[in-house]
Structure 1
Amino acid sequence: MATEPDDDALRWAGDTDPTLDAPVAGAAARPREDPELPDGWSVPKPRRDRADPVAVTAPAAGSFALVGMGVVAGIYFLYTVGWFLSASRVGNPLADPVGAFMFSLGAWLAVAAPLIWFGAVVWLTDERPRARAGWLIAGVVLLVPVPVILGVGGVS
C-alpha cells in the first residue's frame, strides 16, 4: 500500500527541472543570430508556400458552398452506383480476348468516371470556387448513367 498522496501519481521525476520550462513566446520563432555552424553551412530561411498553413490565407467556404459540395458529392456517388449497376448487368458481346478486355476496361472506367471527375475538379480548382462549381455542374450533366435511366443493359 502506497503512503504517497494521490497527486504524486500525476507527476514525473524531474518535473521541476528549469530546462523543461516552455520557451518565451517569441524566442522559438526567431532563429539564432549567430549560429555555430561549420564553414559553408547556413541556416535555411523558412519558405512560404502552399504547404505552410500560415502563408495560405484563402477564405473559408461558406455554409451554402459546403452544403452544395455535399449535395453534388452525393449525386456523383449515386452516379457511380448507377454506372456500377450498368456495368455489372451488361454482358460482354465480344469473343476475342483483346476486345473483351477493352470492353470490360471501358465499363469499369465508366464506373470510376464520376469519382475521378469529382476528385480532379476539387483538386485542380483549389483556389477558384466559381470554376469548381461550373465544372462540377458540367460533370453532373455529362456523367449521367444513361443505361440506368433508360432501362437498357439488361442481363444477357
Structure 2
Amino acid sequence: MTTGRDDDALTWDGDDDPTLDHGAAGEPDDTPGDEADAPAQSAPGELPKGYRAVGKGSETLDSARAPAAASTSDTSSATADRQPMGNGALIAFGVLGGVYALYAIGWLIGGLRLQGRAQYLVTDVMYQGSLWLAVLAPLLWFATTLLLTRASRAWLRFVWLAAGVVLLLPWPFVMIGAIGQ
C-alpha cells in the first residue's frame, strides 16, 4: 500500500501548495514526483513572491527585502502597506455618520422653527438658501472628510470628524428645540 499524495481518497485544489505540511508529524514526504512538482525554493532569507512575513523575526526578512521594495513605485508600496479598517473603526464611523445625519435633521428642524422669526432680517429666498446649506453642511463635512483622508491614518480622520461634530452643532435646534419656547 502506498502513501503518496496521488493515492489519497480526497484531493483538493491547492494541495500542491509548497507551504503545506506534506509529512505527518513533521516528517518529510518522500513520495517520488513531489520534487518535480514543487516550485524552485527561494533563498534562505527571502520569501516567495506574493508572501509577506508576519510575527516574531519578520523584521529581519523585511530588512533583507528593503532594497527591492525601494525600487518599486510609491503608489504600489502605499497600497501594499495599507491595512483594512478594523471592526472598531467601522463601528465608530457608523456612529459618527449617524451623529452627522442627526445634525442635518437638527439643522432642518431648528431652521424651520426660526423661519418666522428671521423674516424681518433677510428675504425668504436668502433664508431658504442658507437653510439648505446648513442642512447639507454636516453631510458634506462627513463625505469630504472620508474622501480627503483616505490615504491618511485613522486617527487623523477621527480628529477631523470630531472637529466637525463640535463645529457643526445645530444651534437653532439646541437653543429653540423642536417644540419651541
Taking structure 2 as the reference length, what is the TM-score of the superposition? 0.50
Contact 2:110 2:176 in 1 (8 A): no
Match of 2:176 in 1: 151
Which of the pair is proportionally richer in helix?
2
Contact 2:111 2:172 in 1 (8 A): no
Contact 2:107 2:134 in 1 (8 A): yes
- Determine whether 1:133 maps to 2:140: no
- Paired with 1:144 and 1:101, the residues of 2 have a C-alpha distance of 24
Structure 1 residue runs without a partner (length 5+): 1-47
Q: CA deviation at 1:151?
A: 1.6
Match of 2:113 in 1: 89
Q: CA deviation at 1:121?
A: 0.2
- Paired with 2:135 and 2:168, the residues of 1 have a C-alpha distance of 10
- Report how many aligned residue pairs link the two structures: 104
- Paired with 1:105 and 1:153, the residues of 2 have a C-alpha distance of 21
Contact 1:89 1:153 in 2 (8 A): yes
Given residue 149 of structure 2, which amino acid in structure 1 is its aligned partner?
T
Structure 2 residue runs without a partner (length 5+): 1-72
Q: CA deviation at 1:87?
A: 2.1
Deviations 1:46-70 (A, max 9, x none): xx997x9xx8332101111111111
Taking structure 1 as the reference length, what is the TM-score of the superposition? 0.57
Deviations 1:56-93 (A, max 9, x none): 33210111111111110010011011011112222251
Given residue 156 of structure 2, which amino acid in structure 1 is its aligned partner?
A
Match of 2:52 in 1: none
Match of 2:131 in 1: 107
